């Protein structure tokens, strides 16, 4: 996946779940597992990259990778608008 320090232009990821803090659920912040990124050091290179989720109807919601979550290459993405529940376990593009 890595080639001379640069990553591919577009990467694919899967939305795992939304972030929950206490009794509240924040549907703008979601956990995303990126294909080919299995540790913290490689996932930390994605911080700041833009993410796009596209619905089946063509609606696009954009966001940004804000931090790494855990040790297995999962990142936290904050979207500009809250995602619907249908977005769980769907694909996103990271560019």
**pLDDT (tens place) for every residue of the chain, 95 residues total:** 444 455 667 999 999 999 887 787 777 999 999 999 999 999 999 999 999 999 999 999 999 999 999 999 999 999 999 999 899 999 999 99
Q: What is the DSSP letter of 39?
A: S
Write down the pTM of the prediction.
0.86
Where does 5-59 show beta strands of DSSP type E? 11-21, 24-34, 50-54
Q: How many helices (H) and strands (E) does the chain have?
A: 1, 6
For residues 34 and 49, the answer to whether their CB atoms sit within 8 Å is no
What lies within 8 Å, CB to CB, of 59 at 6+ separation is none
* CA–CA dist 2, 56 (Å, integer): 31
């Amino acid at each position: 996946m890595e080639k001379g320090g640069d990553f591919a232009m577009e990467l694919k990821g899967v939305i795992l779940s939304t972030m929950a803090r206490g009794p509240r659920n924040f549907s703008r912040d979601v956990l995303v597992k990126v294909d080919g990124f299995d540790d913290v050091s490689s996932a930390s290179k994605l911080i700041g990259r833009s993410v796009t989720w596209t619905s089946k109807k063509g609606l696009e919601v954009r966001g940004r990778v804000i931090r790494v979550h855990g040790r297995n290459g999962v990142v936290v993405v904050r979207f500009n608008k809250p995602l619907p529940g249908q977005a769980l376990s769907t694909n996103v593009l990271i560019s």
